[in-house]
């Protein structure tokens, strides 16, 4: 079911309205979020205790910290890119 949308018109409108800043901001944000998630995983992984319980706590802490930092980074980066 296509909901009455023409795929060719969708692609044309996408190309017409997409700007270089949209692509650049998406790539920068993706790289920043990936870096934050990786860094939190590494930090908490190195701090984890022995055994499954320590790994579980480290994983929980890593996910929680990464989520908060990604939310904050998204707020900052969105403000930066919208001010350009």
Each residue's pLDDT tens digit, 70-79? 999 999 999 9
Residue 15 has pLDDT above 70, yes or no: yes
Domain range for residue 53? Answer: 20-83
Whether residue 6 is contained in a domain is answered as: no
Whether residue 14 is contained in a domain is answered as: no
Whether residue 2 is contained in a domain is answered as: no
Residue 1 has pLDDT above 70, yes or no: no
Query: Per residue in 18-58, pLDDT tens?
Result: 999 999 999 999 999 999 999 999 999 999 888 999 999 99
pTM: 0.81
Backbone angles phi, psi at 3, to 5 degrees: 60, 25
- State the Cα–Cα distance between residues 69 and 65, nearest whole angstrom: 6
> In the Cβ-directed half-sphere of 82, how many Cα atoms lie within 13 Å?
6
CA-based max dimension of the chain: 57
Whether residue 61 is contained in a domain is answered as: yes
Written as six digits, the tokens of 27 are: 């790539």
Written as six digits, the tokens of 47 are: 């701090």
Q: How many domains does the chain have?
A: 1
Whether residue 68 is contained in a domain is answered as: yes
Whether residue 59 is contained in a domain is answered as: yes
């Amino acid at each position: 079911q296509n909901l009455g949308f023409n795929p060719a018109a969708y692609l044309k409108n996408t190309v017409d309205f997409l700007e270089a800043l949209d692509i650049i901001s998406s790539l920068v944000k993706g790289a920043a979020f990936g870096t934050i998630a990786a860094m939190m995983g590494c930090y908490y992984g190195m701090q984890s205790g022995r055994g499954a319980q320590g790994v579980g706590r480290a994983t929980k802490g890593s996910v929680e910290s990464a989520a908060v930092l990604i939310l904050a980074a998204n707020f900052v980066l969105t403000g930066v890119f919208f001010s350009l």
